[in-house]
Structure 1
Amino acid sequence: MAIDSDAPTMAAASDTAKKPIAKDSNTPTESEDEEIKYAKPGTLCGVHNVYQTKPDENEETSWSKDLPETIIDPAEDAESAQYALIVRNVKCYDGRKSLSIHSIVIQSEFLKTFLGKVLEGYPGITVTLERLEFTAPFKPLVHRWEDFLKAREEEELDETTKEHVDLLHKILEEELRDILARKKDLIRNGVITHSLLWTLFEPDDVVIATVGGRRNAYLFTDDAINCRTKAIILEVKFVEFDGDDFGYSDDRFEVPVFIGTTPITSLPAFPLRYHPDKESIRESLIARGKVWEQHKGYHYKQYEGTATGFLDDDKTKKFHVKSRIIIDTEAFNVFHPHKSIWVWGDLPEELTDEHRLVASSSVWGYSLRDKEWLRFHLDGTSEIQWNSAAFDSLVLPKEQENLKDLILAFAKSHSMSSFDDVVQGKGRGIIMQLSGPPGVGKTMTAESVAEVMQVPLYAMSAGDLGSEAYKVENNLKDILRMIPKWGAVLLLDEADVFMEARTSADLQRNELVSIFLRMLEYYEGILFLTTNRADEIDPAFESRIHVSLAYQNLDFTSRRHVWCQFLARSANTEVFSEEELDRLAAVELNGRQIKNMLKTAGLLAWSQKKDLNIEHVQTVLTLRKSAKPA
Structure 2
Amino acid sequence: MATNSLGQSLDPKASLKHVNPATSELERNGDPAVPVALSLPQRPLDPNAAPAQPRDPSLKASPEATAGGMADSGLIKYKIEYVGVESGSVFFEGRRTKLDASEEPPVFEYVEVRQSSQHVLSVTTNTSIEDIPKTDRGAGQPYINILSPAVAEALRCVVDYFPEIDFFPNVIRIPEPYSVFVFFEKELTEYRKRVETIAQESDSSCPNRWAAKHIGIVQQFVREQVQKAVDAERERHARGYATYDMLWLLFKPGSDVYVDVSNKGAHEPNVVRSAMNSLLYGANDITEDEVPVIRQHFVDRGRKWCKLRRKVRCYYFDGFTTQVPRHYSGLAMPDPLQYQRWNTDGAEFIHLTAPESGPLKICSCKNCEETIYQHAVTPKFKGYTSIGGLAREELTDHQYFLCDREVESFVFKTRSWELLDVDGFQEPSFDSAHFERLVMKPSTKEFIKNLTQMYMRESSRSSTREELAIKKITQVHKSPTLRKADTTWSADFVEGKGEGLTILLHGRPGVGKTYTAECIADYTERPLLSLTCSDIGVDPKDIEQNLLKWFKLAERWGAIILIDEADIYMEQRQVQDIERNHLVAGFLRALEYYKGILFLTTNRVGTFDEAFMSRIHVQIHYPEFQDEERDRLWGGFFEKLEEDRETTMRITQSAKDYVQSQELQSLKWNGREIRNSFQVAVALAEAQGHKDKQGRVLIKSDHIKATVQMSREFRDYLVKLHKGDMSKKASLMGHRYDAYGKETAGSEKY
Q: What is the TM-score with the length of structure 1 in the denominator?
A: 0.70
1:591 & 1:97 partners in 2: Cα distance?
A: 81
Match of 1:287 among 290, 294, 300: 300
Correspondence 1:368 to 2:408: no
Query: Cα distance, 1:146 vs. partner?
Result: 4.8
1:556 & 1:130 partners in 2: Cα distance?
A: 88
Match of 1:331 among 322, 326, 338: 338
480-489 or 410-419: bigger deviation: 410-419
1:218-237 matches, cutoff 5 A:
218-221=270-273
Query: Cα distance, 1:578 vs. partner?
Result: 6.8
What letter matches 2:271 in structure 1? L
1:183 & 1:617 partners in 2: Cα distance?
A: 75
Give the match's secondary structure for 2:419: strand
2:713 & 2:94 partners in 1: Cα distance?
A: 104
Q: Give aligned pairs, total.
A: 505
What letter matches 1:606 in structure 2? E
1:71 & 1:556 partners in 2: Cα distance?
A: 101
Correspondence 1:516 to 2:594: no
Match of 1:575 among 638, 653, 665: 653
Question: Does the 8 A contact of 1:119 with 1:144 survive in 2?
Answer: no
Query: Cα distance, 1:328 vs. partner?
Result: 1.2
Q: Which residue of 2 aligns with 1:492?
A: 563
1:441-480 matches, cutoff 5 A:
441-480=512-551
Query: Cα distance, 1:203 vs. partner?
Result: 3.3
What letter matches 1:287 in structure 2? D
1:335-350 matches, cutoff 5 A:
335-336=342-343, 338-340=344-346, 343=349, 345=385, 347=387, 348-350=392-394
Query: Cα distance, 1:298 vs. partner?
Result: 2.2
Determine which structure has the larger strand proportion and give its number.
1
1:363 & 1:506 partners in 2: Cα distance?
A: 46
What letter matches 1:501 in structure 2? Q
2:346 & 2:292 partners in 1: Cα distance?
A: 34
Query: Cα distance, 1:412 vs. partner?
Result: 2.7
Map Cα deviations across residues 348-372 of structure 1 (whole Å, 9 max, x no partner). 4311101111111111111111121
Query: Cα distance, 1:373 vs. partner?
Result: 0.5
Q: Taking structure 1 as reference, are residues 536 and 286 closer, same or farther at Cα in structure 2, changes over 3 Å only?
A: same
Correspondence 1:304 to 2:326: no
Q: Taking structure 1 as reference, are residues 602 and 93 closer, same or farther at Cα in structure 2, changes over 3 Å only?
A: same
1:159 & 1:377 partners in 2: Cα distance?
A: 56
Q: Which residue of 1 aligns with 2:702?
A: 615
Map Cα deviations across residues 9-32 of structure 1 (whole Å, 9 max, x no partner). xxxxxxxxxxxxxxxxxxxxxxxx
1:74 & 1:522 partners in 2: Cα distance?
A: 81
Q: Which residue of 2 aligns with 1:237?
A: none
Match of 2:253 among 184, 197, 203: 203
Give the match's secondary structure for 1:326: strand
Q: Which residue of 1 aligns with 2:80?
A: none
Map Cα deviations across residues 182-214 of structure 1 (whole Å, 9 max, x no partner). 764775664454x76655443322222224553
Question: Does the 8 A contact of 1:122 with 1:203 survive in 2?
Answer: yes
1:143 & 1:548 partners in 2: Cα distance?
A: 79
1:468 & 1:142 partners in 2: Cα distance?
A: 67
1:512-551 matches, cutoff 5 A:
512-551=583-622
What letter matches 1:136 in structure 2? P
Question: Does the 8 A contact of 2:165 with 2:174 survive in 1?
Answer: no
Correspondence 1:404 to 2:475: no
Question: Does the 8 A contact of 1:101 with 1:175 survive in 2?
Answer: no
Q: Which residue of 2 aligns with 1:34?
A: none
Q: Which residue of 2 aligns with 1:170?
A: 220
2:434 & 2:225 partners in 1: Cα distance?
A: 77
Q: Which residue of 1 aligns with 2:147?
A: 105
1:386 & 1:178 partners in 2: Cα distance?
A: 67
Structure 1: segments with no counterpart, 5+ residues: 1-69, 224-231, 233-254, 309-315
What letter matches 1:324 in structure 2? L
Map Cα deviations across residues 513-557 of structure 1 (whole Å, 9 max, x no partner). 111101101111110000112222111112211001111011111
2:538 & 2:102 partners in 1: Cα distance?
A: 80
Q: Which residue of 1 aligns with 2:574?
A: 503
Map Cα deviations across residues 409-456 of structure 1 (whole Å, 9 max, x no partner). 222334655235433322221100000000101001100000011110
What letter matches 1:378 in structure 2? V
Correspondence 1:215 to 2:267: yes
Structure 2: segments with no counterpart, 5+ residues: 1-92, 116-136, 200-210, 352-384, 459-486, 643-649, 690-696, 718-750
Give the match's secondary structure for 2:433: coil
Correspondence 1:322 to 2:329: yes
Give the match's secondary structure for 1:428: coil
Q: Which residue of 2 aligns with 1:606?
A: 686
Give the match's secondary structure for 1:385: coil
RMSD: 3.9
Map Cα deviations across residues 121-153 of structure 1 (whole Å, 9 max, x no partner). 5568898x7957453237552452552587489
1:387 & 1:582 partners in 2: Cα distance?
A: 29
Question: Does the 8 A contact of 2:339 with 2:346 survive in 1?
Answer: yes
Match of 2:283 among 244, 247, 266: 266
Correspondence 1:385 to 2:426: no
Q: Which residue of 2 aligns with 1:86?
A: 107
Map Cα deviations across residues 315-367 of structure 1 (whole Å, 9 max, x no partner). x654332232111111211222x225575626543111011111111111111
Query: Cα distance, 1:171 vs. partner?
Result: 1.8
Q: What is the TM-score with the length of structure 2 in the denominator?
A: 0.60
Question: Does the 8 A contact of 1:576 with 1:613 survive in 2?
Answer: yes
Query: Cα distance, 1:180 vs. partner?
Result: 3.5
Question: Does the 8 A contact of 1:118 with 1:151 survive in 2?
Answer: no
Q: Taking structure 1 as reference, are residues 211 and 306 closer, same or farther at Cα in structure 2, changes over 3 Å only?
A: farther
504-513 or 344-353: bigger deviation: 344-353
What letter matches 1:424 in structure 2? E
487-496 or 453-462: bigger deviation: 453-462
What letter matches 1:300 in structure 2? C
Question: Does the 8 A contact of 1:89 with 1:99 survive in 2?
Answer: no
2:535 & 2:112 partners in 1: Cα distance?
A: 70
Q: Taking structure 1 as reference, are residues 427 and 74 closer, same or farther at Cα in structure 2, changes over 3 Å only?
A: farther
